[in-house]
Structure 1
């Protein structure tokens, strides 16, 4: 049996079970075996019924005391059975599983494990896991029981049995693809041993040995896939060797401010890439306000002065327009012709700008997703820049690149990711970090309060408005819903109009037409709107130096990185700025987030904590297309294994860049299997 065989080839997978497995994205034998436990229960600690602890998971060895009953409880069926040992009795209860009535015979012995509560004057074990115990069975043989991520009506017992069947049917026949020298050097267990012991550990030690191997394997394969793609791109694609530009110094001196040393360092890295024949694939990471846009402008200047065109794509029309309006006057001084292509242009405007791009009458075009449409053609595209990369997939970046002949690619993000983790997410890119804020950038004072302070907060906003400043108020929703706890943009705007009668209030959200959004943003930028109530549509890149207050309602609904991005919309001018977070949540996670926001303005520190609190799955949110999901590794806890995996990966590729050696053939085929989608997208 192969990992790629359909899961229905496993004993016990019928039509109904197959549907439930598919809901968990399990389609093949491999999917089932890589459906790792989320936790384990130690059932070696069997308690007497008289010794059980309430509101905790207990394991008991008990006989069936009375025949099971199915009772109606509202619309559901409750199955109830009495369990006894020599110290007392309790009831086991299950909801919505009437078939269990036929499962238990009087006086049979079972191992039951579940949470015990005291309800309705009775001791109850709720929806326990159970296993029949034969008289001669050693119940302590495998006391560590796996608990799997599951779905409605697919019990732990069924999942465990199916995985046992899959392991039995593939027993010691899983093909080892990690070369022997890697396993020896990094002391990694055998593949078959690891798969058996991650699911059914013989001991704690066996579990740790198995997990170490599988975490290493997962991170190693991910790195190998990304670095192999990068190597192939470097080898196969000859890029544009741009020439050094004598005017560049004059352009940099003409900027309204001096570059920071971090900006200068990143500009040098970009220049080095652009001058070489290698296609530049570089990620520029920098905190909110670190000056990535001006670095992008310098790269565009180099491309245009080499008689090539440049393009800069942003995720929203508001941001694309802002880039255009901010950079066009600086570039125009050097006879560089700029244009803006967005979805809200009229048909005639669009036709006109498309013609100018095609004929080379526009040197640099700024825009949104409209840039990747088929009808957009360039005369000589030399540089592609995407801003806020996490909003785009690999495919979109590639489509834009294919509009030129191997143009250089620069990718920018203001979502700080710890460097080691950036290598995982953007392993096909070189990484530059702008880790310094320009002088004069304001520190933003951050406060966290509950809704009882709202009136005081409004008074504080009024005080700022009277001084001529402006404010943002962020709500997590657009329209009113059943959840009254959440502040909605439209109803919130209506509510506060009587509180701020003498001021102009408007709202902004993603469902508005681009022209409407643009109009509101222009009015806010001109100071005609005093308070802007918005969803997170203003999270990215919006620059209004006169706005000094960022009030975020229901702050518990946002991740730390998002709160930090939103806070970065203020403190952009010469005035003292404030961020106020309103939440009534008492949850530990919320408290921790608020504490971090008050303590630091450092995006990298915040991203570390965000990763720690939320875990990698949520942290990365919009994953790049074609990237395999992590099944077992935790990018926060397993950082030391990640470093070893990266070291091994570099060693393999230095020794055998195209994985041609015999000892690397199985590894090569496993990488292709995992990365087939990504390899297809990058057109290797």
Structure 2
């Protein structure tokens, strides 16, 4: 296929759908192009291929029948019945909401009709209530008696409508050059790309549909892995600098620490130090379980940079988290001559001017801050390392704006959300990763228990005793997916109830508050101005109140496993015994398993794997919110083998090949390279 033919393919796939559809389809498919529509994968399939003689009660069937008679109801409110004859037996076709005129037109006496619907039995007779299809055109039998895809819908469109739209656009789908090795295609018994798209929407069996999905999932994963590799090659550049590590500051800091480093921390510090000494730009990921001590590891990476007469920046997503980092790091570095500053939206104009002058002149060694760090008027003399804390909470462009303030700046991404190995490989490709699993020896395991929500009065009594003893607690309110307003309403109702017992000892925090208001509530909590904090999930990550020892999570069955683990991690950060109570209401089998895992394990990586298995990959990190790729065909848990295959094959191909460029364009990864997480 030449360049002109490739352009025609992309023109077809990128062409806009009719205007009528453009208001509805973006809600469903994420866009209003032919490509968006054809990539809209069915949720499941209905098998309409069973004949009446082969079908069981509750199964779908499609059959030809002769209309025998109409039986209008004798009493108002009763159903209208039509008797049809098929395969020497009578079948009742039943309608509850009907127009007699319409039914007489649809079922003329003596006519042959095609009927498709779910088979029921009433007394000794077969029955179909409100059939899905009725057609007087007997030539449509094959069209109806097939595997019918079922799509997720929204108001304004039916399954039949979206199916017809897809079918009409499948007719013009062009053929493409094959980019998968022939050996692999034969081994997996895959169809070509065009046939896979067509038969995903019009399969002859569930097996064929799954084979087509697997083929398209591989294409998608292969394209993404190629894109990651191209981005890596483009942005991991060789540099001309001498980088030596004398550990002068490291020894000073270690001598002043009131605790010993864990083996995982020591290993991670050594790994990151070696990467910093490399002649190639470092792009590294530090992921650690809740409370595993990631900040001290990041600090030693920053000290290495300072030793080499460069500057380091640590960017956190919230003011309170930035201030926590600043206060701790400033205290730890008080034994050195290193100059540290805090730059946030709350920094006064006078302080900001001083900080910016010291950054530009090189007097300031380390700056810790929020989004204020990447503003246009912030200039570094020589930014050598950017540490991005809770990196999934920043947009790609935001991260790039900070990293772009230096030349070939090293990047250390930090996350407290344990990422399963499969998901890590999909998101980051070959980015080097250091993992912290161990907790400091001073940390006691959090005692976790489940209780029925009916026991809230008992819990309030025990909580009152604990608060009277000087302890602090969180009370997390129900999570209703996709409805922050409802979450807030639930929190406010619980807050009002708890005020009756705790009066001014209780406060509330939620997503409707401004960042300044949230920070003020958290600072007051840390300063012991109140003892019980009612909250939505806004406190999920990064909040460090060491003397908070009790976590109560209401309707815990509505949360994901990883989210429950993060919330539980807000306690157990000091040397006192901490507790987590998971309140439940209605437990399904799945919810019961989830809460059992929480009680049995505190290993965030194990919990993340289980969460991925239960909920799928997209929900672990909140893909839509974090700017990570949302896959159309691939499921990163179900398709782990395909991901490994795509990962390995991407290493061995020439990405300059024209067919691979087309693959990247079709899956739209090339446009993402410029804004890649590796920049």
TM-score of Structure 1 vs Structure 2, range by shorter chain: 0.7 to 0.9
1:441 to 413, 420, 443: 443
CA, structure 1 residues 5+83, in 2 after alignment: closer, same or farther (shift >3 Å)? farther
Q: 1:90 maps to which residue?
A: 93
Any idea what SS the aligned residue of 2:346 has?
coil
Deviations 1:203-245 (A, max 9, x none): 444334323322221211111111221122124x637552212
Deviations 1:233-258 (A, max 9, x none): 124x6375522124133433432222
Q: 2 CA distance for matches of 1:619 and 1:16? A: 35
TM, length-normalised to structure 1: 0.86
Q: 1:53 maps to which residue?
A: 57
Q: 2:672 maps to which residue?
A: 678
Q: 2:114 maps to which residue?
A: 110
1:283 to 282, 285, 298: 285
Q: 1 CA distance for matches of 2:487 and 2:80? A: 38
Any idea what SS the aligned residue of 1:268 has?
helix
Identify the range of structure 1 (190-199 vs 280-289) with the bigger mean alpha-carbon deviation.
190-199
CA, structure 1 residues 629+133, in 2 after alignment: closer, same or farther (shift >3 Å)? farther
Any idea what SS the aligned residue of 1:422 has?
helix
1:37 matched to 2:39? The reply is no
Identify the range of structure 1 (518-527 vs 443-452) with the bigger mean alpha-carbon deviation.
518-527
Q: Displacement, 1:188?
A: 4.1
8 Å CA contact retained: 1:3, 1:30: no
Superposed, 1:16-415 pairs within 5 Å as 16-24=20-28, 25-47=30-52, 53=57, 61-62=64-65, 82=82, 84-85=84-85, 86-92=89-95, 104=106, 106=108, 107-114=111-118, 125=129, 128-130=131-133, 132=135, 134-135=137-138, 139=142, 143-170=146-173, 173-180=175-182, 183=185, 188-235=190-237, 238=239, 241-247=242-248, 248-415=250-417
CA, structure 1 residues 358+575, in 2 after alignment: closer, same or farther (shift >3 Å)? same
CA, structure 1 residues 181+493, in 2 after alignment: closer, same or farther (shift >3 Å)? same
Q: 1 CA distance for matches of 2:423 and 2:102? A: 47
Any idea what SS the aligned residue of 2:501 has?
coil
Q: Displacement, 1:414?
A: 1.0
Q: 2 CA distance for matches of 1:459 and 1:316? A: 34
1:614 matched to 2:608? The reply is no
Q: 2 CA distance for matches of 1:466 and 1:145? A: 63
Any idea what SS the aligned residue of 2:500 has?
coil
Deviations 1:319-358 (A, max 9, x none): 1111111111112321111111111233333333333322
Superposed, 1:467-486 pairs within 5 Å as 467-476=469-478
CA, structure 1 residues 133+620, in 2 after alignment: closer, same or farther (shift >3 Å)? farther
Q: 2 CA distance for matches of 1:249 and 1:68? A: 93
Any idea what SS the aligned residue of 2:171 has?
helix
Deviations 1:643-679 (A, max 9, x none): 2222212222xxx3xx23xxx3211232245223322
TM, length-normalised to structure 2: 0.86
Identify the range of structure 1 (83-92 vs 37-46) with the bigger mean alpha-carbon deviation.
83-92
Deviations 1:273-302 (A, max 9, x none): 111121111111111011111101101111
8 Å CA contact retained: 2:288, 2:418: yes
8 Å CA contact retained: 2:488, 2:511: no
Q: 2:660 maps to which residue?
A: 667
CA, structure 1 residues 229+553, in 2 after alignment: closer, same or farther (shift >3 Å)? same
Q: 1 CA distance for matches of 2:15 and 2:326? A: 57
Identify the range of structure 1 (222-231 vs 130-139) with the bigger mean alpha-carbon deviation.
130-139
Q: Displacement, 1:579?
A: 0.6
Any idea what SS the aligned residue of 1:500 has?
helix
Q: 2 CA distance for matches of 1:627 and 1:102? A: 55
Any idea what SS the aligned residue of 2:439 has?
coil
8 Å CA contact retained: 1:388, 1:412: yes
Any idea what SS the aligned residue of 2:434 has?
strand
CA, structure 1 residues 306+100, in 2 after alignment: closer, same or farther (shift >3 Å)? farther
1:4 matched to 2:31? The reply is no
Q: 2 CA distance for matches of 1:482 and 1:274? A: 42
Any idea what SS the aligned residue of 2:406 has?
coil
CA, structure 1 residues 17+512, in 2 after alignment: closer, same or farther (shift >3 Å)? closer
Q: 1 CA distance for matches of 2:426 and 2:154? A: 30
Q: Displacement, 1:103?
A: 8.7
CA, structure 1 residues 210+534, in 2 after alignment: closer, same or farther (shift >3 Å)? closer
Q: 2 CA distance for matches of 1:405 and 1:134? A: 71
Any idea what SS the aligned residue of 1:498 has?
helix
8 Å CA contact retained: 2:62, 2:144: no
Q: 1:569 maps to which residue?
A: 570
Deviations 1:184-208 (A, max 9, x none): 5766432233223222223444334
Q: Specify every segment of 5 or more residues in structure 2 that has no aligned partner in the other structure, as ranges.
A: none
Q: How many residues align?
A: 655
Q: 2:550 maps to which residue?
A: 549
Any idea what SS the aligned residue of 2:397 has?
helix
8 Å CA contact retained: 2:484, 2:511: no
8 Å CA contact retained: 1:39, 1:147: yes
CA, structure 1 residues 511+341, in 2 after alignment: closer, same or farther (shift >3 Å)? farther
Q: Displacement, 1:59?
A: 5.0
Q: Displacement, 1:151?
A: 3.1
8 Å CA contact retained: 2:550, 2:578: yes
Q: 2 CA distance for matches of 1:83 and 1:402? A: 75
8 Å CA contact retained: 1:229, 1:428: no
Q: 2 CA distance for matches of 1:427 and 1:680? A: 16
Q: 1 CA distance for matches of 2:385 and 2:502? A: 47
Q: 1:76 maps to which residue?
A: none
Q: 1:427 maps to which residue?
A: 429
Provide the aligned C-alpha RMSD in A: 3.7
CA, structure 1 residues 518+240, in 2 after alignment: closer, same or farther (shift >3 Å)? farther
Q: Displacement, 1:616?
A: 2.2
Q: 2 CA distance for matches of 1:64 and 1:559? A: 53
Q: 1:592 maps to which residue?
A: 593
8 Å CA contact retained: 2:561, 2:607: yes
Q: 2 CA distance for matches of 1:422 and 1:607? A: 11
8 Å CA contact retained: 2:475, 2:534: yes
Deviations 1:398-429 (A, max 9, x none): 11100111111000111111112111122363
Q: Displacement, 1:117?
A: 10
CA, structure 1 residues 300+622, in 2 after alignment: closer, same or farther (shift >3 Å)? same
